[in-house]
Structure 1
Amino acid sequence: RYTYAPLQQPLKAIGDIERITARVALRSARPRDLSTLRDSLLQLPLLQQQLLGKASTLLDTLGASLQVPDAAVDLLVKSIRQEPSVVLREGGVIADGFDTELDELRSMQTNHGDFLLQFEAAEKVRTGIQNLKVEFNQVHGFYIEMSRTQAENAPAEYRRRQTLKNVERFITAELKVFEDKVLSANERALAREKMLYEQVLDALAPHIGTLKTNAGAVASLDVLCCFAERAEALRYVQPSFTKELGISIEAGRHPVVESITQPFVANDVSLSPYRQLLLITGPNMGGKSTFMRQTTLIVLLAYCGCFVPANAARIGEVDRIFTRIGASDDLAGGRSTFMVEMTETANILHNATDKSLVLLDEIGRGTSTFDGLSLAWAVAKQLLERNKSLTLFATHYFELTRIVDDAKQAANVHLDAVEHGNGIVFLHKVEEGAANQSYGIQVAQLAGIPKSVVQMAKRKLTQLENNQIAQNTHQPDMFLN
């Protein structure tokens, strides 16, 4: 048993190395990508340290895959600011001290105060105008300002820049030269940063392979920590694997539904070469689809290396999982709902093996009753006799439940429900044997169908059931008065 908590802290500080590496390779990485890559790579030694001494081949392998590219880390630490700008064109990306020329340009932008104080003091002495000031604004740049009265005594080399109500503003050749240097320093600094940034990307290119390896190892550790944390928090158990064909789950739960539906009713499932196909009947909303899906998810989680939501699980070899669940058309492909259903079913029948897990939900519902029933019966027989796949087969065709009379490898199970007054209570418990009705009208009533419609439906149901008994060889006429 290994503790995952020490790994979580360094993992939280690691960004998406794989995505950033791809951007570096494509030369589209942004400044924040490089700072995230730097901070992520600095966490790798901590991960390596936590993986030392673990008696696990997998963890040893992942630890060995964490190869810190020291040259790349050193470059990123020295070249990229701790919190760089979002985009390169804004500047503020390359770290101070990395490039002397860039440092000088930046200094020229920010440290011109001393020059201006000295220039102002010298001009006061030279002109004898003690109230002149040297200032700056974004519109006119640097200028010498004095009152309009004092402006009459301004030296001849002072060139008027702006006239206001009470003051005059001037510029000199010396101040203009300094202004040009300061204002161009920003453009030159941005150009210098862009060049240096491109050089950093060039220097990272040889490390892309190592970065990809690290990304894969970190992703695997992240998944394993997530598995461990969820298993502990949600009371998952370690599944066991067997070479024998079959699936046995005790008190299985749906990993998503149980988090939003409390209390969740757990159910057992047993599939084997001797109990190959389960015909699942029961009311709408009774939990048939949830039962099927949770079985598949438990198998899938187990094969991913995760503990599973159950009290116990024993799983044999499963080569593929096939599903035919839900109802939707394919307008772009010109296929109706029934055509989509049949296409997916055909794929299952052509490709499922005795090691496959197959889920089929209400096959044949998209066409007439007898056509649908015939197709569902034939599909079930094919899966039993030829594919021999482990199959969960949900249906509202109660006639299908008679398959178990001829096929010892098939079994009936149903989802329980009880009528309470004019309503219905779903128990969501899987029991052996077939259900005797679907409670469709009761479910429609729960959904808010008008009472008058519900009453008409009940009368029609009674009439149809009587006709079915009287004329057992004919399809019921849904439009009899």
Structure 2
Amino acid sequence: MVQPNLDTPMLRQYKAIKAEYEDCILFFRLGDFYEMFLKDAEIAAKELGITLTGRGKDEKRIPMCGIPHHSSENYLTKLIQKGFKVAICEQVEDPSEASGITKREVVKIVTPGTAISDKLLSEEHNNYLSAIMKIPKSSSYGFSFVDISTGEFKILSLANKDDVISLLLKLGSKEILLDTDLDLALPDSIMINPTTFLSEDHSHKLLSDHFKVNSLDSFGLSHLKMVLPAAWAIIDYLKLTQFNTLLQIQSCTELVISDTLRLDNGTIQHLELFKSLHTNQKEGSLFWVLDQTKTALGSRQLQHYLKHPSTNVTTINSRLDAVEELMNDLLSREEIRELLHQVYDLERLISRIVSDHHNPRDCLALKQSFIAIQDLSPILSHFEKSKYLTEFKHFFDSFTIKDSPFSFIIELLETGITDTPPTTIREGGIIKPGFSQELDDLNNSFKSIKSWIQSLESVERNKTGISTLKVGFNKVFGYYFQIPNGQKHNVPSHYIRKQTLTNGERYITPELKEKETILLNGEEEQFALEAKLYKEIVTSIKQHISHIQKCASIIADLDVFQSFATISLKQNYCRPKFVPSESLTLNFVDNRHPVLERIQSTAVIPNTISMNAEDHTFSLITGPNMAGKSTLMKQVGLTVIMAQIGCFTPAKDASLSIIDRLFTRIGAVDYLFSGQSTFMVEMLESSTILHNATSQSLILLDEIGRGTATFDGMSIAGSIVDYIHNTIGARTFFATHYHELTALSHRLQFLKNFNMEIKEISGQLSFTHKYIEGAADKSYGVHVAKMAGLPEPVIEKANELLRGFENQGAHYLEHHPKQLILF
């Protein structure tokens, strides 16, 4: 048997296009389907769970699979979430007009870091693409990142690999462009694109040309020229994948971390800022508590605040002023919340519009958002003390000024787009009557024909006497009369039979076909003209991208401020006060854990935490497990973060001096996938803290030395205490089971002992969760073991051994080798 010719013109076209996009799965458009062939087909069929077919037999068989064009977004989403790149190849000419095979081209490449579709994005989270390079003749690194769905584009210089990885994980980048000479230990979930970076001068010229500026100094980047190759690598990659002008990216600016409280990824996890350690879900995190936002813009901005708390007291107090005013005016705040609820995701709306990944309903959402925002100005006029709220009010005033960008867009969309537009521009129904005289004239020219067709069924029923006659339409035959078989004898002679059905016949008439031709040709002209007018409207909107992005930024901040005000009033938070840095103050009266008090049905026990440079800066905390040591330290860390993002704090009174970095080693967030032991991870994290903490830092350490032999662990823990106290001088909370360390208070001037109070009644423990001064009198470890339900023989033997160790020390076992019998 002769094998079929598998090297067809279409397959040759496919192979030629695929050769240009070897790292992508190619969605190859064939009619109403996207087809995949060869290796792509095998991968897609497996990952998408669809049928793998083929052409030919045996070794000449070509694997194939396909997905419907109309539902391709669902399949695309699955592949991107699994870490694949997808190249979308479309037919770029009408097949009926093609001479030979239809011309096809890749029109877009979708990757994990360049997604813009709502189905691929979370409203609450940014989607970052990052670029990382080694700066030539330097020990530093260049870092740039972009979110094309919002237009955010930043660069900065980082001192070492640890800072690079920390920022990368904090951003949650799904894809990176990585210097070919760099080797970073990164999670497998991040897509890595090896990249060769251009020179500094070449990158500066290309970026200047892209942004149409003479120099990037206007972006404040004169001191970051050595990082520009990372920024250009991102723009170049986006041009290669997006096939558009990237108008949503209006500038590139520095991410200034010198004015922020530095948090590494470990600290973010330990403190459960965004996800609970137990469930890996938002609920149970600080973000979950504080997120009372009404917009996607505000939710993402809140995350930014939490990742980058401020160290600028002026900025913090300005935020607190806004929060306080909003707290004090319940009616205005609720009106603001109601209006914000009507505001769509402006950043992503404008990004979709400028990237031509949009439909008329996006324009409608833009108009509805601006109409809601118009009403914010009179509400904000009630606030006179807050700098931010006053600035917001002045900005929103422009929405009612004639010929301002916003009033222009509102009027354009109000007069131009219908109130219920379709989701595509191919079938008309987009443009309002009165917007275009040409369109109105065209519609009127066949309006009488539409009326004629609408009345045709009743007219023909009366003429023929066939009460069951129906007028129908389909794309194959156009308009027709359908008559049941039982009435065929009444069909007029001028009816022309077109199609035979099981239960009847379909007919046409010359007059019907003549009217149909006029109508369909007119509708084609209408659809084409509406599409043209719609594109002109979109082009007009594109002229005001920077204004819309500025509006989005202000809405985001306003939403965060009202969110802080809402939760602060609900939970009875207090305004924190900031005192001079040299005082090393941390004073929280009746401080509560902000997450626990939202989760627990019973009241959370408040504790007063107080330290400063004159009294003590080091708190050594002892007490048994379950007493609340770790919870207290997390509570302190969370309260500091809340204060420095500009939120009120869970306490009766709060004052502190600015914290520049917050370090934690709490709980068992151990990276065992890296092949490192718990103790090694503990030592690596401790090393990072000791090398990077300053006197203005806050350090929270829990059970240092637990992962090795007792005396080794105690020695390391004691040495770390000594180093932090004498060399660093940072405010520190150090929880330990090594009671011997409490003796350090005799020689370390600024160290005080504290414990979590335990009450023992008739041999039973009662945890009060109160933080009190002084060392714990004993560990109560055996008591806790009993509470956990260990067998009674184990508890009895443990008490016996404990008494022996207390009396004779570690040599006790040498004299009592009797085997422990449990049962």
Q: TM-score, length-normalised on structure 2? A: 0.52
In the alignment, which residue of structure 1 is the partner of 2:607? 267
Q: Aligned equivalents of 1:387 and 1:21: distance in 2?
A: 48
**Which whole-Å CA distance do the structure 2 matches of 1:361 and 1:349 have between them?**
15
Q: Deviations over 1:224-278 (max 9, x none)?
A: 1122222222211122211132111111111111122222110011111230100
Gap regions ≥5 residues in structure 1: none
Which one of the candidate residues 680, 684, 709 is aligned to 1:368?
Answer: 709
- The more displaced of 271-280 and 8-17 is 8-17
1:8–1:154 CA distance, 2 compared to 1 (3 A): same
The aligned residue for residue 27 of structure 1 is: 356
Residues of 1 paired with 2:649 and 2:814: CA distance?
Answer: 46
RCO higher in structure (CA 8 A, sep ≥6): 1
Q: Which residue of 331, 352, 375 maps to 1:5?
A: 331
Asked if the contact 2:785–2:795 (Cα under 8 Å) also holds between the matched residues in 1, the reply is: no
The counterpart of 1:293, out of the listed 605, 618, 634, is 634
Relative to structure 1, is the Cα distance of residues 343 and 31 closer, same or farther in structure 2, using a 3 angstrom cutoff?
farther
Q: Secondary structure at the match of 1:41?
A: helix
How far apart are 1:46 and its partner, in Å? 1.9
Within the candidate set 506, 512, 515, 1:175 is matched to 512
Match of 1:234 among 571, 579, 596: 571
Residue 43 of structure 1: aligned partner = 372
* Higher mean displacement: 308-317 or 116-125: 116-125
CA contact (8 A) 1:275 1:409 kept: yes
Shift of 1:141: 4.3
Partner of 1:136: 472
Pair 1:145–1:412, CA change in 2 (3 A):
closer
Alpha carbons of structure 1 residues 84 and 396: separation in structure 2 relative to 1, 3 Å: farther
- 2:688 corresponds to 1:347: yes
What is the aligned partner in structure 1 of residue 17 from structure 2?
none
User: Does 2:771 match 1:430?
Assistant: yes
Which residue in the other structure is 1:61 paired with?
A: 391
Counterpart in 2 of 1:220?
A: 557
The answer on whether the counterparts of 1:72 and 1:204 sit within 8 Å (CA) in structure 2 is yes
> In structure 2, the residue corresponding to 1:462 is in which secondary structure?
helix
| Structure 1 CA distance for aligned equivalents of residues 712 and 718 of structure 2 | 10
**Which residues in structure 2 correspond to 1:175-214 (within 5 Å)?**
175-182=512-519, 192-214=529-551
Aligned-partner Cα distance in 2 for 1:214–1:96: 30
C-alpha separation in 2, matches of 1:371 and 1:170: 97
1:462 maps to amino acid: E
Partner SS state of residue 214, structure 1: helix
Q: Structure 1 residues 111, 353: closer, same or farther in 2, change over 3 A? A: farther
Q: Which amino acid aligns with 1:28?
A: H
CA contact (8 A) 1:116 1:134 kept: no
| Distance in 2 of aligned mates of 1:224 and 1:31 | 32
Which among 481, 494, 499 is matched to residue 162 of structure 1? Answer: 499
Aligned length: 472
1:351-410 CA-partner distances (Å, limit 9, x unpaired): 111111111111121222222211111111111000000001111111111111111200
Within 1, Cα distance between the matches of 2:359 and 2:511?
A: 40
Letter paired with 1:302: A
Distance (whole Å) between structure 2 residues aligned to residue 92 and residue 480 of structure 1:
91
User: Which piece of structure 1 moves more, 261-270 or 462-471?
Assistant: 462-471
CA contact (8 A) 2:782 2:798 kept: no
Range with greater deviation from structure 2 (347-356 or 360-369): 360-369
- Give the unaligned 5+ runs of structure 2: 1-323, 400-405
Q: Does 1:330 align with 2:667?
A: no
Task: Tell whether the 8 Å contact from 2:482 to 2:507 is kept in structure 1 after alignment.
Answer: yes
CA distance in 2, matches of 1:475, 1:377: 26
CA contact (8 A) 1:106 1:186 kept: no
User: RMSD across aligned C-alpha pairs, in angstroms?
Assistant: 3.4
Q: Aligned partner of 2:387: which letter?
A: T
**Contact residue 416 and residue 431 of structure 1 kept, 8 A:** yes
Measured after TM superposition, the shift of residue 161 of structure 1 is 1.7
Comparing 66-75 with 137-146, greater Cα deviation is found at: 137-146
SS of corresponding position for 1:42:
helix
Q: Which moved more, 1:101-110 or 1:17-26?
A: 101-110
* d(CA) in 2 for partners of 1:374, 1:238: 41
Amino acid in structure 2 at the alignment position of 1:257: L
Does the CA contact (< 8 Å) of 1:35 and 1:80 recur in 2? yes
SS in 2 for 1:112: helix
CA shift for structure 1 position 427: 0.6
Asked if the contact 1:279/1:394 (under 8 Å) is kept, the reply is: yes
Distance in 2 (alpha carbons) for counterparts of 1:418 and 1:436: 11
Asked if residue 312 in structure 1 is aligned to residue 653 in structure 2, the reply is yes
Tell whether the 8 Å contact from 2:416 to 2:435 is kept in structure 1 after alignment.
Answer: yes
Q: CA deviation at 1:197?
A: 3.7
- Residue aligning to 1:400: 741
Distance 1:109 1:403 in 2: 94
Letter in 1 for 2:488: R
Query: What's the TM-score, normalizing by structure 1?
Result: 0.86
Q: Which amino acid aligns with 2:375?
A: L
Amino acid in the other structure paired with 1:252: N
The structure having more radius of gyration, on CA atoms, is: 1
Q: Which deviates further from its counterpart, 195-204 or 399-408?
A: 195-204
1:460 to 792, 798, 801: 798
The 3 A distance-change label for structure 1 pair 169 and 295 is closer
| Partner amino acid, structure 1, of 2:794 | M
Q: Post-superposition shift, 1:88?
A: 5.3
The separation in 2 between residues aligned to 1:458 and 1:166, in whole angstroms, is: 91
Q: 2:346 aligns with which of 14, 17, 24?
A: 17
Tell me which amino acid in the other structure corresponds to 1:437: K
Query: How far has the Cα of 1:280 moved from its partner?
Result: 1.0
Structure 1 residue matching 2:688: 3-state secondary structure = helix
Q: Judging changes above 3 Å, is the alpha-carbon distance between structure 1 residues 432 and 35 closer, same or farther for their aligned structure 2 residues?
A: same
Aligned residue number for residue 72 of structure 1: 409
For 1:51, the aligned partner's letter is: L
Q: 1:415 aligns with which of 756, 779, 787?
A: 756
